[in-house]
Every structure is written in structure tokens, then in C-alpha cells.
Structure 1
């Protein structure tokens, strides 16, 4: 995805991948939702949410969070628990090789929902062979904008969530269930089900199969919206990345055409016309980025580029194996959809600091952006557990 030669690597281990979530708003201190800031290591966001729900004696849907954070790091984020009480939450908790601790508590009037964050701050430990080149490349990236591609984390272990989306969307529930049961592909319908505990939504699929082994469609329904949304998001991400790669290869990441759907600095979308083309492209130039080109997250969202641009994007994304109708109204993976900026700006500029045998890279990104894409863009290798 970039033409830069390798100049280093992200060091392994959670301590070298630190994330702090910046909430979209501050809790007021009053309200029926308990707000808990958690620092976690070795655990997924979903596991922490389930532990909090059990501790407070509420259903899983009573717990909210703004976004999922990497399991392979030390990450901080806020959770909300409807009618939860501070006295019900343990200050520290260890679970299945991971741990979390409570950093702060408060209360607020509403549940934290996906997207309720301003962005994320990152502090990454690097081993660099050419620190000067890293500084130069980071400066160029700040000017040109960061590739807003989705990281491979979005596609699941070995791409299993994307494979799930393809099977589910194509109407093959048996194949979809097999991926849920065993992402490695070894298990087949009719084989004995694996034992042991599984967290939802995969655990709900297994539970349904134990009750009715041949009802694969029913097992998918038993997992609820969470599994379908995960599959849909992986499908959308694959399409977006394909469109990004095609525009980058064509040299038109910063060049808009009539019929493109652009995004203003505040995120407002607008259709580019012949009359405003010159002004739009001046504002989209590297070093300015008051306007950016957008890429598709297909769904039911009605605001779209011109039919010619949509057809072009669909052709670019044909290799993903995703049919866009799966994500539309009445599709098996129906999703609201939206447009996503192809490039983004740092919320806080990158800072590189030497520290004995390593360097620490700090920066802040808008919500939904991937730190691993920053590293890839400047030629810093990422360990396999973060790809």
C-alpha cells in the first residue's frame, strides 16, 4: 500500500501498543448510566463488556462502548452500564490470560453508543533503522493525509469475518456457521461440536447448534444483530479498501472528478460538479485537505456519487467477492452504510522520541482510523498478531 522501503518495526508485546480513547463528551456525574473507564490488556472489548454486565446483574445490551480496542495492547476506554453501581465493579479483574482495572468512574444520562468518541491517542514502541527517514516520512504523511484504509483486524482471524460475510451474503448458512465454529476451517457441519466456553456471538451460535444441529440459519439468527453487523462491517471494509487501492493506483486520491461524493472538513458530504471542480481540488490538495474524496461503505444510505462513479467503484471492488445488494435493503447483511474519507488528518501531529534502544511514536487519530495504517504508510513493519 506504500512505496516506502522498510525502516523499522513495531516492537512486540502489549506495552508497545498503547491506546487511550478520547470520549466525544464528558460525563456529567449524574444519570442512570454508570460510566467506567477501563484499562485492559489481553482482553477484547466485548469480553470486558460481558464481565461488567455480569457484575452488575444486567443484560449484555445494557452495557455500551464507543468502539472496540485491540486485545494485543494496553488500551483505555469508557463503558456505560445502565443502572450499574460503582460498588458492583471490582477495581481489578483477571480473566483468561488478560486483565483490566478501573481507572475512573462517573455517571451520565445516556448510554455510550458506537461512535461516541472524538478519537484515539496512540503511543507505540518502535525499533528503527533510520530515525531520520521516519521523521521525514511522518511529516510528509501529515501533509498528504493518512490512508484511511481498514486494518486487517477488521476482517477477523485469518480473514474469517470476511469469509463469514461472503458465505452469509451468498445464502450459505452452513458455511457461515462452520466459520463461526472454527475460523481455521477444520470443522464441518456434522462433525462433533467443540467443547469449552465461547463468548457471544460465537457462543450463541454453538448453543443453538447443540439444540438443533441441522438448523444453520437458526444458529445465525440466534447470534442476533451483533454477528450480522460484524459480517457487514467486514464486507464494507473490503469494498472500501479495494476502492482506496484503485484510486491510489490511478493517482486520484487527492483529485476529485465531477460526480464524486466529497466530504468537507466537518464531514458533510456533497456532490462535486463541473462548476466547483477547480475550487474543490484546490481544497483537496496535500497540505490543505479542507475537502477529501470519499469511498463507499455500501448499504441503504441514499446519498451516493453519480451512477458512473458508483459503477466504477463496483468494478474496482469486484475482486472482493462481495455483492453490494447483500448490504442493501432486505439484503442478508443489510446495513445503513455511509461514505468514508479516503484520507484523514492527524488529530495531534506525530512525535518521535528516542528512549535507549527504542523510539516512542505518539499521535492521535480520528475515530475509526487505524494506527497500523500509519505505520504501513511510513515503512514500519507490524507483528503478525496486529495484522
Structure 2
């Protein structure tokens, strides 16, 4: 499956040129931005860890062994890629005892902060992710890049799930379709979770692609379900909501379906569009429903906060920006440049 099969059309035109992403881990830096006051006491040891050449599950295994606890006692807020320099939060449930996990530190892992708290860290607990990205081997017109970046500052980008969500050449989608056609669920929990997430993300991207194609991905339409950037609640767009100034401020957005059980709450043309996409992928939708997932929503438009850029050298573009939890930096980069392959493998980052 190609990128266009997995994502959809770009919103702001053809890429401004070419560049390479993640020639080294330091070219892709991401920090979890936490907005929780930690108590300093409690059953859970919270650790802020900087890692490189390790994925999140690698760190979970290291911490579990060092603390002598089951893997399930180690929690984290979000998944971070191996080929990157990242700082993220973990917590270890160690009631009634002190533990020393400093032995896990190495050239690949540093503990930046350790403190106690009364609760474990939950998935999506952090407020946002802060990115510092260097695009190297840049071949592009700087004036075009500046114009594109200013446009992104004002209007955001389509909130696609990145191609990395779907496996190499869409292999996870094909696997999910195979399971859905047989109405089978993988017995391994991690495989089942990955394929269900893949199927949901694929259907959402199809909905978003249709909205990008008709130009309505950043506009509220009658019958839309609107939601705020950091909210899971939503409300129906009637005539007066179409004029809400928060739409222009990139704080309020139209949303798309994350498929599951229950009736679509959208109305009018929006309902027709989402139902049409679901009908085109009926086996996947039935499979998600039978797996027990419930209808949820995801913003169609991705606001890119605190976006800035510079050129450290003639062939490098450095970007800095913040994104809401669960959104992909590659969705931003895709609207700027086409990515060159690294080691003959298409670059992808799970953020």
C-alpha cells in the first residue's frame, strides 16, 4: 500500500522540496510536556528519562528488571520511537519500599528526574509533545518554505495518523483486513491491540482524506461534531456554531469518527460522508464493533503551536513546535517537504 492509500491528499499543495529526516537520533528530538504537580510522596516512583536508540517498551523492560517488579507495574504516558532523542515520563508501582534504578543508566538512557507520586502515570497524561526536528540534505526554495510554514502557523495541517501506524507498506492494515474478513481476533494482546488501532486509524484517515479532498477539513459544517483541541467531549454544529470565533483561533475543530459500537452522532452531509466511508470498509467496521470498541472522535485539524524555524547550515532546516498528545510530527513535515529514504527504508516516526 502506498502513502496515498494510507493517508490522503495534502492540504497545502505539493511539497516545497526534498529533505532527509532522522539521519541521526539527534535530528528528531521530542519532550513530553507534563502539567501535573507531583506530590513527592506515594506508592509510585515517577521518572523522567532521556533515551536514544531505545523504544518505550525497551525502557519498560529495563525498569521492571531494575525494580524487580512485573512489567505491568511500569507505566508510561506515550510511545516514543527508537530512532530519536526523546525525554518521557515513566512510573513504577513500588508500594512500601525504596528502589534504586540508577543501574539502568547508560549512553542510551539517562534519568533526568525522580520523584514520588500518589498515582501511576496514565496513557495520554502529558499535556503535549514538544518537537525539535532537523531536516538535513535539504533541497528546496527557502521562500516557498517560509510561505508554507506561515500558512501552517495560521491554519494547521490535516491530523492524519502517520504511515508508521500502519506498518511497512501497510502490512498492519492488510493483516487487520484479513482478520476482519474472517471475523477473528488475534489471541496475543499486543497484536490484537495493534491491529484494532490500525483499523481504526485507517478508517479515520479515509474520512479525513475525503474532507481534505472537498476542502472542509478545517471548516465546521452543519451536522459536524465539534471538539476542542485537548477535549474528548464534543457537541453538534448548528448554524450558530459555524460562526464560533474559536474555529478561527484553532482552538475548536471539526472531528472525525474513530470507529466502534454505537450510532454516528453526526448529521446531514457529514453523516452521509462518514457512513459512506464505513460502508466502503464494512468488514473492518463490523470487526471493530464486535471487538467491543465504542464510537469516539478525533480532531480533523491539527494546530501546530509555537512553530519556529531556522537554518543551522545551508542544507538543514530546523523546526520547533508543540503538538497535542496522540498527533504526528510527520503530518506536519509532510506538508512541507517530501522525505528522502534512509537506508532504503521510508522514514517514519511514531509520535
TM-score (norm 2): 0.84
Q: Which runs of 5+ in 1 are unaligned?
A: 174-216
Q: Provide the residue aligned with 2:325 in structure 1.
A: 367
Residue matched to 1:92: 105
Equivalent of residue 355 in structure 1, options 283, 292, 312? 312
The 1:322/1:343 distance shift into structure 2, 3 A limit, reads farther
2:4 alignment counterpart? none
Structure 2 distance, partners of 1:310, 1:322, is 19
Matched residue of 1:255: which SS? coil
CA distance in 2, matches of 1:238, 1:140: 27
- Is 1:110 equivalent to 2:119 in the alignment? yes
Cα distance in 2 for partners of 1:137, 1:85 equals: 52
Tell me by how many angstroms 1:321 deviates.
6.8
Give the Cα separation in 1 of the matches to 2:307 and 2:18: 16
| Preserved CA contact (<8 Å) 2:183 2:287 | no
Structure number with greater Rg is 1
The Cα offsets for residues 300-326 of structure 1, whole Å up to 9 and x where unpaired, read as 466721376344213235555753122
- 1:242–1:317 CA contact under 8 A, matched in 2: no
Structure 1 residue 57, shift from structure 2 partner: 1.5
State the distance in 2 between where 1:345 and 1:39 align.
26
**Distance change >3 Å, CA 279–CA 115, structure 1 → 2:** same
Is it true that 1:80 corresponds to 2:37 in the alignment?
no
SS at match of 2:335: helix
What is the match of residue 177 of structure 2?
A: 166
State the partner residue of 2:3.
none
Q: TM-score of the superposition, structure 1-length normalised?
A: 0.77
Give runs of aligned pairs for residues 146-225 of structure 1, distance below 5 A.
146-171=157-182, 220-221=186-187, 223-224=188-189
1:69, CA displacement in angstroms?
Answer: 0.7
Residues 343, 234 of structure 1: alpha-carbon distance in 2 compared, 3 angstrom cutoff: same
Contact kept, 8 Å, 2:129 with 2:324, in 1: the verdict is yes
Q: CA 1:63–1:278 in 2, change beyond 3 Å: closer, same or farther? A: closer
In the alignment, which residue of structure 2 is the partner of 1:378?
Answer: 336
Q: Does 1:284 align with 2:284?
A: no
Q: Pick from 234, 244, 248 the counterpart of residue 208 of structure 2.
A: 244
Deviation of the 1:355 alpha carbon: 1.4
TM-aligned CA distance change 1:296 to 1:138, over 3 Å: same
Paired residue for 2:110?
Answer: 101
Partner Cα separation in structure 2 for residue 306 and residue 65 of structure 1 = 37
User: 2: distance between equivalents of 1:110 and 1:303?
Assistant: 35
Partner of 1:204: none
2-side partners of 1:93 and 1:307: how far apart?
A: 57
Deviations 1:182-221 (A, max 9, x none): xxxxxxxxxxxxxxxxxxxxxxxxxxxxxxxxxxx7xx33
Cα deviation, residue 82, structure 1:
0.5
Greater RCO (CA < 8 Å, at least 6 residues apart): 2
Query: Which secondary structure does the structure 2 equivalent of 1:365 belong to?
Result: strand
Q: CA deviation digits over 1:233-262, x for unaligned, max 9?
A: 111110111111101111111333222211
Q: Is the 8 A contact 1:86 1:105 kept in 2?
A: no
* Matched length: 328
CA distance in 1, matches of 2:230, 2:93: 31
Maintained 8 Å contact 1:6/1:381: no
- Where 1:87 maps in the other structure, the secondary structure is coil
1:95-123 C-alpha deviation (Å, 9 max, x unpaired): xxxx3222221111111111111111111
CA distance in 1, matches of 2:102, 2:279: 48
- Offset of residue 63 of structure 1: 0.9
The question of 1:227 aligning with 2:227 is answered: no
Measured in 2, the distance between the counterparts of 1:158 and 1:65 equals 28
Name which of 234, 241, 245 aligns with 1:269.
234
Q: Distance in 2 between matches of 1:159 and 1:51?
A: 30
Q: Which residue of 2 aligns with 1:5?
A: 15
- Going from structure 1 to structure 2, the CA distance change for 1:304 and 1:59 (only over 3 Å counts) comes to farther
Return the offset for 1:51. 1.8
Distance 1:85 1:311 in 2: 57
The yes-or-no answer on 1:304 pairing with 2:270 is no
